[in-house]
Amino acid sequence: MELKNKVWMTGNLEWFTYIGEEEVFLGRREVPTPLDEGDRWTNDFGDVFQVIDGEIKLIEHVDPPKKYW
């Protein structure tokens, strides 16, 4: 599957993309690789993303996941 979004990783292993004209933080380890149709994940800020029709879309915002150390 070919993604319609441009996706890149920084030197800090953080994933980013453009959704529309806006640069968006996708997450770190929670981003599934390779990305496939239907993949869904939540980043540290509570943003929920899903791959729909070959495009990464911001679906909703929820409470950020709790971290247990």
Rg (CA), the chain: 12
pLDDT tens track for 28-41 = 999 999 999 999 99
pLDDT tens track for 4-59 = 999 999 999 999 999 999 999 999 999 999 999 999 999 999 999 999 999 999 99
Tokens found for residue 26? 């996708």
Largest CA distance in the chain: 37
Does residue 1 register a pLDDT over 80?
no
Tokens found for residue 2? 């070919």
